[in-house]
């Protein structure tokens, strides 16, 4: 809950958090782009939708479970 609260606090007054949580998303593939960026190919486990994300850094955390 503290993580969600901090990310919410960063969005106040029109800001955007430096981090995004994506629970329920499986990383299908990952690769480097031009030695400075990371491209992820993602799949949402419940919806089956696929997307692509390009970012500067990735923190993968396993074991997190969404609460109903």
Q: How confident is the model at residue 2 (pLDDT cuts 50, 70, 90)?
A: confident
17, 59, 16: which is closest to 38 by C-alpha? 59
The pLDDT of residue 53: 92
> What does the pLDDT look like over 13-42, one tens digit per residue?
787 777 777 888 999 999 999 888 999 999
The pLDDT of residue 34: 85
The pLDDT of residue 66: 66
């Amino acid at each position: 809950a503290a993580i969600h609260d901090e990310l919410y606090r960063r969005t106040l007054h029109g800001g955007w958090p430096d981090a995004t949580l994506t629970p329920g998303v499986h990383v299908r593939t990952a690769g480097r782009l031009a030695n400075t960026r990371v491209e992820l190919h993602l799949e949402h486990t419940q919806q089956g939708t696929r997307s692509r994300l390009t970012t500067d850094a990735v923190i993968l955390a396993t074991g997190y479970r969404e609460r109903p």
